Chain A
Amino acid sequence: MTRRSLLIFAALLLVALGLAFYALQLKRRVARDEQLAAQQQLAMPPPVNGPPTAVTLYIASDSEGILRRTEANVVLPSERTERARAVLRALFGQYLQTPSAHPIGAGTDIRDVYLLADDTAVVDTNAAFADAHPSGVLAEELTVASLVVTLNANDSKIQRVKILVNGQERETLAGHADLRRFYLASNLGQVAKDLQ
């Protein structure tokens, strides 16, 4: 090989190394996104045995702009946070039906519910809850109010609720409803009355 060929080869090798580094970064980013998506896939809920229990759900209706109090029968686990999660899954189940009076994003689910100081529930939703939620002041308020009031109706000790998305705090649900605050059940209970 001539000296000139060697120089060209060295330059091209450098470019190739740069591109390889870039490809590696892309691969890592894809892997990270896939891992995140995998984390969002919820584990199957633990098998629950026992008779169904009547729970109270506050179901939203977009066309009427109201919350309607209804009852549903759900098999509830004995553990308190699992019970709260099961109630909220029953609520979201109503919204995920087709057709729905208050559609929410496909794939919406509750990742977990944590209880703090007995009266505060932290509800961790998956990314689809916020990313795919229909945008609108009323639509988002109905979702937040139905979630908080339903939790309080089935566990009266829960007085404050914080909603997380994928384990993180979000500024808003879908551009409107504030998700940075703790919601008071008493406050939203009044909203639910106004909306009935």
Chain B
Amino acid sequence: MPLSRRVSRLFLVSFAAVTTTLVIALLLRLSAVQAQSAPQNQLTVYSPQTTYSVPLVEIKGQQYFGLVELLEPLGSVDARADGKKYKLRFTPPGDRPQEAQFADGKEKAKIRGKDFKLPGNFALQNGRGYLPIAAISDLLSRLTTQETQFHPAARRLFIGNVPERFTLGIFKDKASRLFIGFPSAVNPSIATEPGHVRFTFRHEPVVSPGLDSVKFDDPLITGATFSEHDGLAELDVVGTAPLMASFADGGKTIIVAAAPPPPPPVAQEAPAPQVPAQTQPSPPQARQPAVPRLLVLIDPAHGGGDIGAAITPSLPEKEVVLALARRVQRELNNRGIAAGLMRNSDVAISLDQRAVSANAARPALYIALHAANTGRGVHVFTSLLPAENVSAQGFLPWDTAQAAFLDLSGAAAGSVAAELEARKLPNATLVAPLRPMNNIAAPAFAVEIAPPGEKVDEIASPAYQEQVAQSIAAGIAAVRGKLPQVRP
């Protein structure tokens, strides 16, 4: 082989090696970025008390769930790591405490004093306990003494007698209509495309009626397919023409029918007509007048990439406030007050989004929950806006929407402070320039909890959080007569 050709080949081989290495490095970097932005795997849990989601993490190729994240919405949890051991005490509402013990890297565990073999090793990471997802049904059956159903492929877990089966029925009158009946009211998101209406149930424990796919002998509505995936359920109704859906019976019935034909084109010379808004067909039975409701919206601050304050290196504010929010919700429910959570999992919501969602929900009261590792006790904040004599009706300026509600906000905050005082919890009531409080068009206050004593991690202790939650709920219950009730 001539020398020039050898040199040329050597150059090519070296160049190829260097370039390939660089390309691989670049691809790895890109895939890392994509992995970071990929949506998190989540498990949806339906229980008689609430519906919530639990993030799943991958450990050694298996999917794991956090014990505290799973159990906290269902009762009081006290968990602590002691070396390689992890001790858990779970108290369901109105029941006795149940204890469990796990060891890092071991399959053997002890639940309620009995040996229990896990389907994989227990994992302890940063003081938090994780179990393989295959263990979830057995664990909950033992800890809650309730029957559980787990749909692993769909990542949906049902605790107790919550699954709701729906019924399908075609009625042929002048035009075909499909009636879908549910045991309780549902609020799915609805997507329509030519020949399809798709219902997505995120919060309802809707399960298959028995057959996942049904065919109808009807010229308009030809079938329906039920499926579960990614922690939600979907019902796809198929037709031969554009379809539309309407609700009846207080949300317990969905009626699918042919969509009305589009209005005929209007000649350009003609005056612009008043096009009537497309209306849903009236329900088959008269609606009962809506009952005024009192809804308290609880907003656990931060979430997702926004961890808030680092209470300790392994305890972010976002986790402390979510646990507290669930306790407050439970305490309010125990007092007969409906309460919703702005987030019930580790998701990021911008400050403006929080205000928009809160205002759309038209709550009687909005509570933002925060936590800090500075100071002591509990601080209750109302908006720093100067009081203005403005009407709460009609449009309100975005930046000062809260000004119209300052009196009621102050009354609710004062009532909560009085309950904190009654429980001998150190507290103070202040005004603060806290976002997004000024944008909330409802009575609103914020609560920031700090550790009760010298030890910072006591902020997450169940006893302390329970006392704070009870104070908040009792304070709200004391002023419920003053809070505005709205019709849904």
- A binding-site residues for B, Cβ under 8 Å: 1, 5, 8-9, 12, 15-16, 19, 22, 62-63, 65, 134-139, 141, 144, 171-172, 175-178, 180-181, 183-184, 187-188, 191, 194-195
**Please, how many angstroms separate the alpha-carbon atoms of A26 and B5 in the complex?**
36
A177 near B12: Cβ-Cβ < 8 Å: no
Assuming the A-B contacts A135-B308, A135-B317, A138-B448, are A22 and B26 also in contact, with contact meaning beta carbons closer than 8 angstroms in the complex?
A: yes
Per-residue contact bits, chain B 364-379, to A (CB 8 Å; 1 contact, 0 not): 0000001011111001
Task: Collect the chain B residues with CB atoms within 8 Å of residue A138's CB.
Answer: 372, 374-375, 379, 430, 432, 448, 450
B residues contacting the other copy or chain, number (CB 8 A): 40
Told that A15-B22, A194-B431 touch, could you supply 8 new A-B pairs with CB distance under 8 A? Answer: A12-B12, A12-B19, A15-B19, A134-B309, A172-B351, A178-B434, A187-B386, A188-B384
Q: Name the contact of A12 in the complex, choosing from B5, B16, B306, B309 (C-beta under 8 A).
A: B16
Task: Collect the chain A residues with CB atoms within 8 Å of residue B430's CB.
Answer: 138, 141, 191, 194-195
**Please, how many angstroms separate the alpha-carbon atoms of A183 and B384 in the complex?**
10
Q: Name the contact of B375 in the complex, choosing from A1, A15, A65, A194 (C-beta under 8 A).
A: A65
Residue of A nearest to B384 (CB): A187
**Please, how many angstroms separate the alpha-carbon atoms of A138 and B449 in the complex?**
10
Task: Collect the chain B residues with CB atoms within 8 Å of residue A184's CB.
Answer: 386
**Please, how many angstroms separate the alpha-carbon atoms of A131 and B306 in the complex?**
13
A62 near B374: Cβ-Cβ < 8 Å: yes
B384 near A191: Cβ-Cβ < 8 Å: yes
**Please, how many angstroms separate the alpha-carbon atoms of A144 and B446 in the complex?**
18
Task: Collect the chain B residues with CB atoms within 8 Å of residue A191's CB.
Answer: 384, 430-431
A5 near B9: Cβ-Cβ < 8 Å: yes
A63 near B435: Cβ-Cβ < 8 Å: no
A16 near B438: Cβ-Cβ < 8 Å: no
B19 near A16: Cβ-Cβ < 8 Å: yes
Determine whether B8 belongs to the interface, using a CB cutoff of 8 Å to chain A: yes
B379 near A1: Cβ-Cβ < 8 Å: no
**Please, how many angstroms separate the alpha-carbon atoms of A171 and B433 in the complex?**
12
- B binding-site residues for A, Cβ under 8 Å: 5, 8-9, 12, 15-16, 19, 22-23, 26, 301-302, 306, 308-310, 317, 351, 370, 372-376, 379, 381, 384, 386, 399, 428, 430-435, 438, 446, 448, 450
Residue of A nearest to B376 (CB): A63
Task: Collect the chain B residues with CB atoms within 8 Å of residue A175's CB.
Answer: 301-302, 306, 308-309
**Please, how many angstroms separate the alpha-carbon atoms of A15 and B23 in the complex?**
8
A137 near B370: Cβ-Cβ < 8 Å: yes
B435 near A176: Cβ-Cβ < 8 Å: yes
Assuming the A-B contacts A172-B351, A175-B306, are A137 and B448 also in contact, with contact meaning beta carbons closer than 8 angstroms in the complex?
A: yes
Task: Collect the chain B residues with CB atoms within 8 Å of residue A187's CB.
Answer: 384, 386
Task: Collect the chain B residues with CB atoms within 8 Å of residue A144's CB.
Answer: 433
